[in-house]
Amino acid sequence: MVAVAAGRRAGGVGGRRRSGCGPGQAQQKLLAIAVAARFAEAVAPPSAEASRAGSGGCCVELLECLLGALSVNAAPPPAQHRRAVHSIRRRRPRGGGSADDRHADAPSGRIAGNGASASAAASLYTMQGRKGVNQDAMVVWENFGSKDDTIFCGVFDGHGPNGHLVAKRVRDLLPVKLSANLGKGEFKEISTSDVKSGTTKGVATEHRVEDTDASPGNEENGEYPEFFTALRASFLQAFYVMDRDLKAHRNIDCEFSGTTAVTVIKQGQNLIIGNLGDSRAVLGTRGEHNQLVALQLTVDLKPSIPSEAERIRQQSGRVFSLPDEPDVVRVWLPTFNLPGLAMARSFGDFCLKKYGIISMPDVFYHRITDKDEFVVLATDGVWDVLSNAEAVSIISNAPSQASAARFLVESAHRAWRTRYPTSKTDDCAVVCLFLKTEAASTSSSAVTKDLVKNREMSSGKHSLAVKTSTQGS
């Protein structure tokens, strides 16, 4: 027994192998002893049962120790693994997006990390807050669904112990599931004649939405084109399958973890927006006097919305705010003050799926006009400290399109430090999708050169999208 224990210490985590004891010879000897012990245990006569019981099962204990030693010795050297992990961590970029986000084997046109954007039509950036690991994720996918005029953008805000894992999994799989559904031909017949006159109504910039009935583009308003019904069904199906995938995942515990999702698919002059949770999509467009204004495209699906709270309460969930956070309404289990979810819909969070939390997204449609400049997708780390109008103004004054998302994220972090100096800064993730066809056709190399050039100039310059609109007006 002493030899076995010593072997455990020598071959365990952090221990070194002895040069004269290769894995083949040592394991073969131990395996032979273990097999012999097991055979003797199996063929022993009935009269020997009492003696075996009186001996305290030493044979079985010895067998377990030997097999344990075998499993330890058979493991690969742990030191090499730890060195590899440390080397990966050292290469992690400052902004919060991991290196494997950008350089993993990703489909053509897919961008999911920080740095100078390789997209001529979109800019994306994320920054870690002061709450631990960055749980925000984002993605831009050009030529989405193998269509040259289609692009997918998404922002995901994870929460809970495994929120960062949930957000990344949804980031990686949800576009694939949407592409599979949209590849059935729903987009093929979209044309100007299909769309009714007028565009969807947005939410007033200076007011928060208090009910989903006031959401932009209600179907009751008759503003959706006929093809939208099939597209909405595709979104609902993809979100349902995504949530089911998380439920079945063995390595990610989503019982008390989840993520929001706000996604946009742009195809030609059509925008399809799918929203789940309290992340937000805002449109930067021109007003009657050519001024840049903000138009909210989604509704923040929080339990403070009466219809959302009613659904949760009808399924025995509890909705209330804590005394020290009277403005933050949360969702709780029926008999325990857990988990305190600050949104009414999400991926994951399966502890609350029986009590009113759902993964069904709000899906909206918007027809792009000549006045529309860009769409901003951002997590609540941005919207908690900046209004829609402030975000649109910041993007319009960014040095270039390529730096627009980073410009907004850094502005949000400064606002956190100014407005809440004693609070922990939240993670922030932003995707800016520029809608002007002239800007979208610009090569990525030209955009990168423009970023370097504009960094030497004053930060008060307008973005390329605004310049293009001004020249064309």
Query: Do 28 and 172 sit in the same domain of this protein?
Result: no
Query: Do 195 and 275 sit in the same domain of this protein?
Result: yes
Residue where one domain finishes, among candidates 84, 117, 145: 84
Residue where one domain finishes, among candidates 60, 84, 108: 84
Rounded-to-integer distance, Cα 236 and Cα 117, Å = 30
Q: What is the Rg, in whole angstroms, of the alpha carbon atoms belonging to the chain?
A: 28
* Inside any domain, residue 115: yes
Chain centroid to Cα 80, Å, comes to 31
Q: What is the pLDDT of residue 68?
A: 43
Q: What is the pLDDT of residue 129?
A: 86
Query: Do 403 and 256 sit in the same domain of this protein?
Result: yes
Catalogue the long-range contacts made by 243-247 (C-beta closer than 8 Å, 24 or more residues apart). Answer: 243/347, 243/348, 243/359, 245/169, 245/173, 246/166, 246/169, 246/170, 246/347, 246/348, 247/350
Q: What is the pLDDT of residue 106?
A: 53
Contact present, 359 and 243 (Cβ < 8 Å): yes
Q: What is the pLDDT of residue 305?
A: 97
Query: Do 15 and 100 sit in the same domain of this protein?
Result: no
pLDDT in tens, the chain (473 residues): 433 333 333 333 333 333 334 444 444 444 455 545 544 554 455 444 444 444 444 444 444 444 444 433 333 444 444 333 333 333 444 444 444 444 445 556 677 666 545 577 899 999 988 888 999 999 999 989 888 889 999 999 999 999 999 999 999 999 999 998 876 655 544 444 444 433 344 433 333 333 333 345 444 444 566 778 888 999 999 999 999 999 999 999 999 999 999 999 999 999 999 999 999 999 999 999 999 999 999 999 999 999 999 999 999 999 999 999 999 999 999 999 999 999 999 999 999 999 999 999 999 999 999 999 999 999 999 999 999 999 999 999 999 999 999 999 999 999 999 998 888 888 999 999 999 855 444 433 343 344 334 444 433 433 333 333 334 43
* Inside any domain, residue 139: yes
* Inside any domain, residue 344: no
Q: What is the pTM of this model?
A: 0.67
Q: What is the pLDDT of residue 254?
A: 96
CATH of the domain at 200: 3.60.40.10
Query: Do 79 and 181 sit in the same domain of this protein?
Result: no
* Inside any domain, residue 348: no
Q: Which of 131, 163, 132, 164 is nearest to 423 (CA)?
A: 131
* Inside any domain, residue 346: no
* Inside any domain, residue 351: no
Query: Do 162 and 22 sit in the same domain of this protein?
Result: no
Q: Which of 117, 20, 127, 60 is nearest to 425 (CA)?
A: 127
Domain count, the chain: 2
Query: Do 143 and 263 sit in the same domain of this protein?
Result: yes
Query: Do 106 and 24 sit in the same domain of this protein?
Result: no
* Inside any domain, residue 363: yes
Q: Could you write out the three-class secondary structure of the chain?
A: CHHHHHHHHHHCCCCCCCCCCCHHHHHHHHHHHHHHHHHHHHHCCHHHHHHHHHCCCHHHHHHHHHHHHHHHHCCCCHHHHHHHHHHHHHCCCCCCCCHHHHHCCCCCCEECCCCCCCCCCEEEEEECCCCCCCCEEEEEEECHHHCCCEEEEEEEEEECCCHHHHHHHHHHHHHHHHHHHHCCCCCCCCCHHHCCCCCCCCECCCCCCCCHHHCCCCHHHCCCCCCHHHHHHHHHHHHHHHHHHHHHCCCCCCCCCEECEEEEEEECCEEEEEEECCCEEEEEEECCCCCEEEEECCCCCCCCCHHHHHHHHHCCCEEEECCCCCCCEEEECCCCCCEEECCCECEECHHHHHHCCECCCEEEEEECCCCEEEEEEECHHHHCCCCHHHHHHHHHCCCCCCCHHHHHHHHHHHHHHHHCCCCCCCCEEEEEEECCHHHHCCCHHHHHHHHHHHHCCCCCCCCHHHHHHHHHC
| HSE (side-chain half, CA atoms, 13 Å) at 171 | 26
Q: What is the pLDDT of residue 285?
A: 96
Query: Do 389 and 409 sit in the same domain of this protein?
Result: yes
Query: Do 71 and 14 sit in the same domain of this protein?
Result: yes
Joined together, the tokens standing for residue 420 give 């809440």
Residue where one domain finishes, among candidates 84, 108, 139: 84
Domain containing 15: what range?
A: 2-84
Query: Do 379 and 249 sit in the same domain of this protein?
Result: yes
Query: Do 16 and 131 sit in the same domain of this protein?
Result: no
* Inside any domain, residue 140: yes
